[in-house]
């Protein structure tokens, strides 16, 4: 089976909410030597992006999107342990979580994966994290970076509060944020964050830059 066919199966498995198809394709990707990160990005993430478009068009509904994300996670579980450690030599501790009121954690988990393979230490607070917990845990854990994910226009507003809290109570920590409704301008100019990234690979790069500042 060619790489293209395997990626297509991963993509289709996510769209079709077919956990078994995704698991089989993920295993085949490993057996056939497909780069695990390619399988994740060009198969699984590409599939959930199509699901997002179908959701926007009213062709898919929340329960189906949820089943598609479960299929994505089934593939991620198989591929994740095989992602090559691209150790960027980053030494730092990141406090990571999804903003209050927001349960979208697929993006956050991919960011976590990239932080992980870059050599960073991660404290994962999970999803729907109370605003004040980010800075509180950063102080307790002596973190270097507070990384906030927000996927909704309503929940992204939490970032501004977290930045204010950080400036007062954890002045040495850098705040990094990301998520679909956010861009560099909103993140840095409006919310006052130190950094923004639009995908997981870039997130690790920006984190590295912030740690060196
Ligand atoms: C999957 C999904 C769900 C799943 C979530 C499952 C899960 N465990 O995550 C379920 C079904 C639960 C869900 C529920 C809802 N959803 Co929804 N959902 C999506 C969907 C289709 C895909 C999101 C996703 O996972 N994308 C794939 C990942 C890989 O991309 P990503 O998250 O953007 O992450 C990347 C980057 O943003 C970046 N990044 C992300 N986080 C961070 C953090 C840092 C620090 C950095 C540097 C970078 C970074 O790197 C990531 C990896 O490359 C989007 C549509 C879309 N097109 O985005 C809607 C979407 C986000 N949902 C939406 C809505 C409205 C809802 C609901 C309110 C629906 C409802 N009526 O109940 C609920 C809300 C629940 C809640 N309170 O949070 C809206 C939000 C609209 C808005 N702008 O406010 C969207 C945009 C759909 C739409 N067009 O209406 N949803």
In a domain, 88, yes or no: no
- Residue 95: how many CB atoms within 10 A of its CB? 29
Distance 206 CA to ligand 1 centre (A): 22
Domain count, the chain: 2
Last residue of a domain, one of 16, 48, 82: 82
Q: How far is the CA of 114 from the centre of ligand 1 (A)?
A: 19
For residues 126 and 162, membership in a common domain is answered with yes
Tell me, what's the pLDDT at 27?
98
166 lies in the same domain as 100: yes
Task: For ligand 1, atom 88, name the residue with the nearest CA.
Answer: 56
- Structural domain harbouring 100: 93-212
Instruction: For residue range 51-104, list pLDDT tens digits in order.
Output: 989 988 999 998 999 899 999 999 999 998 888 765 556 679 999 999 999 999
Separation of CA 33 and ligand 1 centre (Å): 30
Domain boundary among 57, 82, 107: 82
Nearest CA owner, ligand 1 atom 44 = 178
Cβ contact 166:193 at 8 Å: no
Picking from 112-116, 120-124, 202-206, which range would have the lowest pLDDT averaged per residue?
112-116
Averaged pLDDT, 90-119: 90
What's 180's domain CATH number? Answer: 3.40.50.280
Q: What is the pLDDT of residue 110?
A: 87
CA-to-CA distance for 65 and 174, rounded, in angstroms? 33
Residues 66 and 99 both lie in one domain? no
Check residue 9 and give its pLDDT: 98
Question: And the tokens for 58?
Answer: 């009213």
**CATH number for the domain including 51?**
1.10.1240.10
Q: What whole-number distance in Å separates Cα of residue 136 and Cα of residue 150?
A: 19
What share of the chain in percent tops pLDDT 70?
A: 97
Inside any domain, residue 87: no
Same domain, 31 and 132: no
Q: Which atom of ligand 1 is the closest one to the Cα of 177?
A: 45
pLDDT digits (tens, 9 = 90+) for 20-32: 999 999 999 999 9
Residue located nearest, by CA, to atom 46 of ligand 1: 178
Residue 118's pLDDT is 79
Nearest residue by C-alpha to atom 72 in ligand 1:
62
Q: 187 with 98, same domain?
A: yes
Are 72 and 133 in the same domain? no
Using 50, 70 and 90 to split pLDDT, how confident is the model at 41? Answer: confident
The pLDDT tens digits of the residues spanning 186-201 come to 999 999 999 999 988 8
| Ligand 1 probe mutation, 14, 180, 186, most atoms within 8 A of CB | 180
Asked if residues 148 and 134 have their Cβ atoms less than 8 Å apart, the reply is yes
For ligand 1, pick from 151, 163, 166 the residue to mutate: most ligand atoms within 8 Å of CB. Answer: 151
Cβ atoms within 10 Å of 60's Cβ, excluding its own: 19
pLDDT single digits (tens) 138-169: 999 999 999 999 999 999 999 999 999 999 99
- 167-188, pLDDT tens digit by residue? 999 999 999 999 999 999 999 9
- The residues lining ligand 1, judged by C-beta closer than 6 Å to any ligand atom, are 45, 48, 51-52, 55-56, 62, 65-66, 69, 101-108, 110-111, 147-149, 151-154, 176-181, 197-200, 203
Question: How does residue 49 score in pLDDT terms, banded at 50, 70 and 90?
Answer: confident
User: Does a structural domain hold residue 58?
Assistant: yes
In this predicted structure, the answer to whether residue 208 has a pLDDT above a threshold of 70 is yes
Residues 198 and 109 in one domain: yes
Domain boundary among 82, 107, 132: 82
């Amino acid at each position: 089976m060619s790489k293209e066919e395997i990626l297509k199966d991963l993509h289709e498995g996510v769209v079709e909410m077919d956990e078994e198809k995704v698991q089989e394709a993920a295993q085949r990707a490993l057996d056939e030597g497909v780069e695990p990160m390619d399988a994740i990005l060009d198969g699984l993430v590409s599939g959930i992006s199509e699901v997002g478009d179908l959701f926007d068009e009213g062709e898919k509904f929340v329960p189906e999107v949820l089943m598609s994300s479960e299929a994505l996670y089934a593939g991620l579980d198989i591929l994740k342990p095989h992602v090559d450690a691209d150790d960027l030599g980053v030494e730092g501790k990141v406090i990571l979580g999804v903003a209050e009121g927001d349960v979208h954690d697929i993006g956050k988990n991919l960011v976590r994966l990239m932080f992980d393979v870059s050599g960073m230490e991660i404290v994962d607070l999970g999803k729907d994290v109370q605003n004040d917990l980010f800075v509180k845990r950063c102080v307790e854990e002596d973190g270097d970076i507070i990384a906030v994910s927000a996927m909704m226009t309503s929940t992204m507003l939490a970032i501004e509060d977290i930045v204010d809290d950080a400036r007062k109570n954890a002045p040495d920590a850098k705040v990094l944020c990301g998520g679909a409704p956010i861009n560099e301008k909103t993140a840095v100019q409006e919310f006052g964050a130190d950094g923004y990234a639009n995908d997981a690979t870039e997130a690790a790069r920006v984190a590295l830059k912030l740690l060196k500042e």
